[in-house]
Amino acid sequence: MARYLVTGGAGFIGSHIAESLLREGHHVRVLDNLATGRKGNLDALSAVGAGSRFEWIEGDVRSIETCRRACDGVDFVIHQAALPSVQRSILDPIETNEVNVGGFVALLKAAHETGVRRVVAASSSSIYGDTPTLPKSEDMPPAPLSPYATSKVAAESYARVFAKTFGLPTVSLRYFNVFGPRQDPTSAYAAVIPAFIDAVMSGRNPTIYGTGEQSRDFTYVDNVVRANLDACTRGDGGGEAINIAGGSRCTLLELLAAIGRATDTRPTPQFLPRRPGDVMHSLAAIEAARRLIGYEPTVGLEEGLGRTVEHFKRESVLRRTG
């Protein structure tokens, strides 16, 4: 069994990765400063018999000393720590850059110094911007519309430099609209699916920014977890950037209708103006992921929505009875 560091491991995606690694018998160290993650996301780890195979470090990736301590003795780093959200980055581009770029460079340097075998890092479909060509393939030039997207372009470049110049194997995974249990619906920057589900289950009208005809390639979190684990050991880690998605798209209006079916409701949206930095259409080409790391999405949108709604229902019951 191998030793893994999951940065941002108390977050939505990171906690699912940590749980899966522990279920497979690996040793897992989580580094998180709890800026956007929460320790409650790691409650499920007790159910997988983590015991001495789990280690928690509360700290910030912007600290090179913290990164060195976190990387020491691990085989693979799965980097999820970031300040997410296009809208947050527009309001505060400086901190977004400090965390998403500066923090990542510190982590890469520490990983190189401590002999980590490979770094797999979260990137984003937002780097493609609003180019009309669909599907988005990895050979398309970046066209970021926000500081967040720009920070991911820079991070991918640093990952390639550390692979080519320093000999540290790296892979960047470009996520397309990941959703699933543990995604925070209460944040001011909540992603659309938890925001929609929370509104519908609370009897409120979900908010759509724009016409609702904008489309996304929604990707259930289990697919993303598998991609991260496979990217650690498959392919050559030569600094590649790879799309990770469902490989199909639906509009926000279609999404809301699907959530209505999953919750047995008929939600009526309220419409507000389209927000700066939002792209109109997104769809991923996933042939490279299939070829390089053997990726295949196994959970589709409808099934993923059903699982996510059930999670929200359980959380609602726990809040009422707790």
Amino acid at 234: R
Whether residue 148 lies in the annotated active site: yes
Q: CA–CA separation, 3 vs 27, rounded Å?
A: 5
Q: CA–CA separation, 11 vs 40, rounded Å?
A: 9
Of 4, 148, 220, 295, catalytic = 148
Helices 221-233/12-23 angle, 10° precision: 60
Q: CA–CA separation, 244 vs 246, rounded Å?
A: 7
Do 217 and 247 meet the contact criterion of CB atoms below 8 Å apart?
Answer: yes
Q: 3-state DSSP call for residue 313?
A: helix
Q: 3-state DSSP call for residue 173?
A: strand
Residue 32 has φ and ψ, to the nearest 5°, of -155, 145
Q: What residues does 123 pair with on adjacent strands?
A: 174
Name the H helices within the chain.
12-23, 64-71, 86-91, 93-97, 103-114, 147-164, 192-201, 221-233, 252-263, 287-293, 301-321
Do 35 and 10 meet the contact criterion of CB atoms below 8 Å apart?
Answer: no
Q: CA–CA separation, 123 vs 105, rounded Å?
A: 14
Kindly list the catalytic residues: 148
